[in-house]
Amino acid sequence: MTKTPICTLSERELNPTVKISGAHILLESLKAEGVDTIFGYPGGAVIDVFDVLARHFSGDFRFVLVRHEQAAVHAADGYARATGKPGVALVTSGPGGTNTVTGLATAYMDSIPVLVFTGQVPTALIGNDAFQEADIVGITRPCTKHNHLVSRVEDLARTIREAFIVATTGRPGPVLVDLPKDVMQAKTPFHYPLDLELATYKPTVKAHPPSIKRAADLLLEARRPVIYAGGGVITSAAHQELRTLAEMLFLPVTMTLMGLGCFPGTHPLSLGMLGMHGTYRANMAVSGCDLLLAVGARFDDRVTGKIEEFAKDAKIIHIDIDPTSIQKNIGVDVPIVADARDAMAQLIAAVRGQGVPPEHRENLKDWHAQLTAWRSEQRLRFDRTTETIKPQYVVEKLYELTAGRAIITTEVGQNQMWAAQYYLFDEPRTFLTSGGLGTMGYGFPAAVGAQVAFPDKLVIDIAGDGSIQMNIQELATVKQYKLPVKIAILNNGFLGMVRQWQERFYDQLYAHTDITAAPDFVKLAEAYGAVGLRAETTSEVESVIKRGLETPGPVIMDFVVEREEGVYPMVPAGGSVKNMILV
């Protein structure tokens, strides 16, 4: 079929009388925003968009056809986390839209810039219970940063520009735009307002100088300081500033789950992750510090434990671009509403301006000696003498055999925590995981998004046998697009994290957490045209990983691990982070 030629963007801007359809406007707008990849699934309400996409934009966008709309949003999310650019998903109306809700909520909790475009029934049918109608704007209002129903084609370009501004600035987050079918078919002249300013949306980016001065004074006065770094450091690309400040003032750094990679995990000043399954030294350091500098973190309950006991003897400085996150869970002494990178740059300049006293490092000598003692007292450990595979060993071997240079995604549960504990991340945007919502089924489609973004990089999803089954259908996607994603399943035949809680706090009554009725993952991989490998003893682990990493294309590595292995340290819910269960 011969393509119908359409004008280019520049031609339309020169001739504002040319009219194009809403479907054309949507795709031209995405092109103007620099979007190069769309994840999605077609349907009747968006058939016009897919028609225009195939006829006129096949060379402008990579379209990745997933096998479930939830996976489309997780893949867009993984793409966004890996690249720092907004991820885009396009789905149809009704169930197509409702299937995106979990992905939207995941992105919302973790502050990820995702744009989801949903089809909608024609405007005249909205509210009539039409076929595949759902009030997706109403449904997603609590789990999006903003959303829109476009009722006129004349408003479409401006709405899309506004959506990108809101999604990518301030505290990032997902935005949904609902597109009625008649709006996609209607025509209007096109102009994309790249210079659009939103009068009521003005995020604070620059830090208040007096607050920066107060923070610098406290850092120079402290004798037991700790930096607590979260995902906001990665979002704002403040990792270099963080490292500069830490090295300048000899400050130990602990990271949240979302912050892993914002400070090198192999650095001598790294304390590792803090919180419910954090390292002993990180939790003890936060409990014993006299100054806590929190950057791009929101004092989540999994980090703080019992609020009254969290850093109770410390002055707290909190840097965050979201003013609602400051003083929300923990009272702070110096609130700084600003972009983390700007605030850290100002803080470095302020410290340099005042000058670091010659005795500063000597003043922290006793504190660092205590940190070293805590590390020696309790290290992450597991039994290395058994032929039954320990899941920690698998992650440790993955780290060793990849030299720490892979992009790691995870599912949620024990697999996630073992990955966070035993794979050291030296670079930002190399650890992609669902933090706030804890979404099982996230890791595999997120790996799809990361692999699409970086086709030449090694991408590994560390999974559990429960989580991986929630979006296992995306094996068809990786096969179709020749994406060499590797999946390492820590297969214990349980919903492991819930089982661990049942063991510790519910008299070992494993109520509905046994999932030994499971597929043969090797055969399942082969059924999708991928490669399946299995290790059942410790001595087989290394060879399976090497084969998996060397094999072209997608691979499932099924590791049959110790069934009742636990994640430790562990802080009971609501307990003080210094009171850890260590084994």
390 is catalytic: no
Select which of 31, 63, 85, 132 is catalytic.
Answer: 132
Q: Give the strand pairing for 334-337 and 114-120.
A: unpaired
Residue ranges of E strands in 396-527 = 407-410, 431-432, 459-464, 486-491
Q: What would the two tokens of residue 195 be?
A: 């210079």
497 is catalytic: yes
Residues ≥6 apart with Cβ < 8 Å to 250: 269, 360, 361, 364, 368
Q: What would the two tokens of residue 360 be?
A: 């500063």
Single-letter residue type at 462:
I
Single-letter residue type at 461:
D
Select which of 258, 440, 497, 580 is catalytic.
Answer: 497
At 452 the three-state DSSP class reads: helix
132 is catalytic: yes
61 is catalytic: no
Sequential DSSP letters for 380-409: -----S-SSBPHHHHHHHHHHHHTT-SEEE
Residue ranges of E strands in 441-573 = 459-464, 486-491, 531-535, 555-560
Give the CA angle between residues 545, 547, 552 to the nearest 5°: 115
Select which of 28, 33, 69, 133 is catalytic.
Answer: 69
Select which of 181, 315, 390, 486 is catalytic.
Answer: 181
- In the chain, the N- to C-terminal Cα span, in Å, equals 67
131 is catalytic: yes
Residue 502 · residue 570 · CB < 8 Å: no
Residue with token string 């919903």: 495
Residues ≥6 apart with Cβ < 8 Å to 427: 261, 264
Q: How far apart are CA 311 and CA 481, in angstroms?
A: 49
Q: Which of 64, 84, 69 minimizes the C-alpha distance to 116?
A: 69
Residues belonging to the active site: 69, 131-132, 181, 497
